Amino acid sequence: MSQTSYLFTSESVSEGHPDKVCDRISDTIVDLFLAADPASRVACETLATTNKIILAGEVRGPSSVTHELMEEKVRQAVKDIGYEQDGFHWQTAGVDILLHEQSTDIAMGVDASGNKDEGAGDQGIMFGYACTETDALMPAPIHYSHEILRRMAEARHAGTVKGLGPDSKSQVTLRYENGKPVKATSVVVSTQHDADLSQDQVHALVLPFIRETLPAGWVDDDTVYYINPTGRFVIGGPDGDCGLTGRKIIVDTYGGAAPHGGGAFSGKDPTKVDRSAAYAARWVAKNVVAAGLADKCTIQVSYAIGVSHPLSIFVETYGTGRVDEAKLSKVISENIDLSPRGIRTRLALSNPIYARTAAYGHFGRQPDDTGGFTWEKLDLVDDLKSALA
């Protein structure tokens, strides 16, 4: 029997966290190649440490995307985040680019040719999830953890808050009663700050962001705040801790409230099902919940490298479903094209839309006017209802 009353915690990290700096850089390279040629192939890993940025991986794309252009975009990404520190500065950090041509063996399995459709870029399992805990149909702990940091970053960029640095982390613990979140029992925020700020001053800057983000009634005198619990956080970013692409996969998805297949997103073009199929699974799960077919929904899909259609589609609604899960799985399989080409085409994933996904979660975001976050659209609701009628 599942618990109905419990505490659950999720964490987020800001755009200036070392791993997120690397995710942003890797996705900047993806966007650069896709802008030049939507058929480009990119698998870009980034490492960042004290005044050093290293890119490695495999690419296939136009010769117009030179190392000089890549370095320019890398530096601009670091500048946009806000790093102008002695130990990590967008102008002075060394940039090594070690990208090379994609393996022809991989290309042969993925590319369409003759009667063969485009295949998955790798084997693996991917999950999507949605629930009714928030308007974004996301689990509440990760949703509010992201939102605290996003608001802090907006204020930092706008200059309305002085003294906070780019690197920060949050963690929200919520109490659930009868399976629904009702109260924040503790909130953790650690943020980089100027050396001349006292901890009382940092506390005073951060606390309003927490209180304005959490729903009314969720914070009271019993809520415990841990703001910079180490006591000092001046050295931050890649100067304080080495960063790598793809190390924040739970932050990027559902904060531990749903399964994860293990594959990271950033740095990968949309032929890589680690990314595109996880987006598609979220899209389907969100539409299932939005259609009123369940209050919670997990979708699992699996693929084999070079094979164009999923090997399996699994649906779990945790006892909240209003239709049979086997029937729902069948309807999804028969009515939604979850092949790599089908996903990429329906969700318009060959556009340069990925740098914006690198921080504050890949899910629960608003679709934008330039084609980003298409997997958050509720454009399957009527189709699902019709197919199940």
* Whole-number Å distance between alpha carbons of 374 and 133: 21
State the binding site.
Answer: 17, 19, 45, 58, 102, 167-169, 232-233, 241, 247-248, 264, 268, 272
> Do 377 and 291 reside in the same domain of the chain?
yes
Residue at which a domain ends, from 198, 216, 244 = 244
> What residues have CB less than 8 Å from 336, skipping those under 6 apart?
284, 342, 380, 383
- If asked whether residues 203 and 236 sit together in one domain, one would say yes
Closest CA to 191 of 177, 203, 175: 203
pLDDT at residue 155 is higher than 80: yes
Residue positions forming the annotated binding site for ATP: 17, 167-169, 232-233, 241, 247-248, 264, 268
DSSP 8-state class, residue 367: P
Q: CATH number, domain at 100?
A: 3.30.300.10
pLDDT number for residue 116 = 47
Residue 22 lies in a domain: yes
For residue 146, being part of any structural domain is answered with yes
pLDDT tens per residue across span 172-208? 999 999 999 999 999 999 999 999 999 999 999 999 9
Provide the percentage of residues in the chain whose pLDDT is more than 90: 90
Computed from CA positions of residues 339, 341, 344, 350, in that sequence, does the dihedral angle turn out positive or negative?
A: positive
Q: Greater confidence, 103 or 350? A: 350
Residue 118 lies in a domain: no
- Number of structural domains the chain divides into: 3
Residues 381 and 262 placed together within one structural domain of the fold: yes
> Does residue 32 surpass a pLDDT of 90?
yes
Bigger pLDDT: 2 or 244? 244
The Cα–Cα gap between 298 and 239 comes to: 38
The mean pLDDT value for 157-171 works out to: 97
Same domain, 284 and 308: yes
Is residue 251, in this structure, part of any structural domain at all? no
Q: What is the pLDDT of residues 123-132, one digit of tens each?
A: 899 999 999 9
Q: Is residue 116 part of a domain?
A: no
Annotated binding site for K(+), which residues?
A: 45
pLDDT the model gives residue 65: 97
Instruction: Specify whether 128 is located in the same domain as 267.
Output: yes
Angle (CA) 169 174 177, round 5°: 170
Q: Is residue 218 located within the same domain as residue 335?
A: no
128 plus 274 within the same structural domain: yes
- Give the pLDDT of residue 371: 92
- Whole-number average pLDDT of the chain: 94
Q: Band the pLDDT of 115: cuts 50, 70, 90.
A: very low
Checking if the pLDDT of 121 tops 90, the result is: no
Mean pLDDT value across residues 288-311: 95
Which residues define the annotated binding site for L-methionine? 58, 102, 241, 272
In sequence order, the β-bridge partners of residue 41 are 60
In a domain, 341, yes or no: yes
Average pLDDT rounded to a whole number, residues 277-286: 98
Could you list the residues known to form a binding site for Mg(2+), using ranges. 19
Residues 94, 26: one domain? yes
Q: In this structure, are 236 and 268 located in the same domain? A: no
Per the domain annotation, does 378 fall within a domain?
yes
Q: Which domain holds residue 374?
A: 124-132+258-388
Q: Which of the listed residues 182, 215, 244 is the one where a domain comes to its end?
A: 244
In a domain, 250, yes or no: no
- Residue ranges with strand state E in the chain: 6-13, 41-49, 52-60, 84-85, 88-89, 94-101, 124-131, 164-177, 180-193, 224-227, 243-244, 296-303, 312-316
Dihedral sign from CA coordinates of 21, 79, 275, 44: negative
Same domain, 186 and 217: yes
255, containing H or E segment: none
Return contacts of 82-85, CB within 8 angstroms, 24+ apart. 82/16, 82/156, 82/157, 82/165, 82/166, 83/16, 83/21, 83/166, 83/237, 85/165, 85/237, 85/239
Q: Are residues 377 and 321 in the same domain?
A: yes
310 lies in the same domain as 363: yes
Q: Which two tokens stand for residue 200?
A: 């009382």
